[in-house]
Chain A
Amino acid sequence: MSRLNDPFEHDRDGLRQVEEMVRAARDYVSPSDDLRPRLLESVRVGRRSEGQRRLLISVVAPALVLVVALTNHLLDVRQTLNEASTRRQVARTMSSLQSNLGEQVNRQYWGLADAFFLVKQQHAEALAGVAGASSSDESIDSDRFDARAGVSDPSE
């Protein structure tokens, strides 16, 4: 207490005295008695929780992986079966389409052929009519048109 009575000046001696007082008060405070058991208990509880978490992970994770793998496998099998039946169905459809298409094409083809021959026939009849009319007319040059050959003068 006597030290506190001396006036402190901000000089080297004064500050040295303050340092000594601070050093002397070092052990004035100590940790409370329950800090040590509190600390050890908190660490013990923390380790127990961590152990439980690790156990959960070590059991649940592999189980999850197994379930996911099994599900994927079952889905693959189902997909394969679906694909096979789909392929069969498509093949059937294609073959029926092809056969229908073939008939349609045949019909169209012969239809075109029929139309072509009809036009040719009409031309031939037209030409035959013209040839008959021109045989009585003296102004027509018979070299320019050969009714039998059916060839017309290229210059016309």
Chain B
Amino acid sequence: MLGSLFDLTSQRLVRMAIAIARNQDDAEDAVQTALSRVAQNPENLRNADKPWPYLLRMVRNEALAICRKKRRWLSTHSLSELVARRCVSELEREDTHRAVWSALRSLPPEQAEVVVLKSWEEMTFAEIAVVLEISPNTVASRYQYALKKLATKLHKTAEETLAEGGRS
């Protein structure tokens, strides 16, 4: 049963956790701890009003706890540690994806998690507010700030890439 739950949810949980923890090892530790807790007390998840937000919240809390212990709020890490799937036919888009991930991990965790839930989990602001236990207005403003920062960051990355291309 746990294996099935893992197969269904692990990718989504790991990418949510990476947005907060900033590195894949810590993100996977957070996911492992959360799912272990679910295995010990499955009735908690079963009896939750909304199991998926409940599970997201568990992973989020574990990732935040790891961050607090390791104090990696401000550091960013190279993308080389991320386990990325590389499809031959999509190599041309890999640079963009890499840039997006780099920009995402440079955001403050409270903004990055909103972007993840909105863009990848396709949740509404109200649903995100339930997961993060904040108001929908706060979710909306964090999302707006996050997008603007991402835009600035990606623009800078594009300029740097162009400059490097020009030099070579």
Q: Chain A: how many interface residues by the 8 Å CB criterion? A: 32
Return the chain B residue nearest A7 by Cβ: B155
Return the chain A residue nearest B82 by Cβ: A29
Q: Chain B: how many interface residues by the 8 Å CB criterion? A: 47
Return the chain B residue nearest A27 by Cβ: B85
Q: A18-B150, A36-B3 are in contact. Are A30 and B85 (CB under 8 A)?
A: yes
| Complex-state Cα separation, A67 to B120, whole angstroms | 61
Q: Does B113 contact A (CB under 8 A)?
A: no
Main secondary structure of the interface of A (DSSP, over half): helix
**Quick check: A40 and B3 within 8 Å, CB to CB?**
yes
Q: Which of A1-58 contact B (CB under 8 A)?
A: 1, 3-8, 10, 14-15, 18-19, 21-32, 35-36, 38-40, 42-43, 46
**Quick check: B151 and A14 within 8 Å, CB to CB?**
yes
**Quick check: B11 and A21 within 8 Å, CB to CB?**
no
Q: A4-B158, A8-B154 are in contact. Are A21 and B100 (CB under 8 A)?
A: yes
Q: Which residues of B are in contact with A by a Cβ distance under 8 Å?
A: 2-3, 6-7, 10-11, 14-15, 18, 24, 28, 31-32, 35-36, 39-40, 82-85, 92-101, 104, 115, 119-120, 144, 147-148, 150-152, 154-155, 157-158, 161-162
Q: Which residues of A are in contact with B by a Cβ distance under 8 Å?
A: 1, 3-8, 10, 14-15, 18-19, 21-32, 35-36, 38-40, 42-43, 46
Supply 7 A–B pairs (Cβ within 8 Å), ascending by A: A5-B158, A14-B151, A15-B147, A21-B96, A22-B104, A25-B100, A35-B14
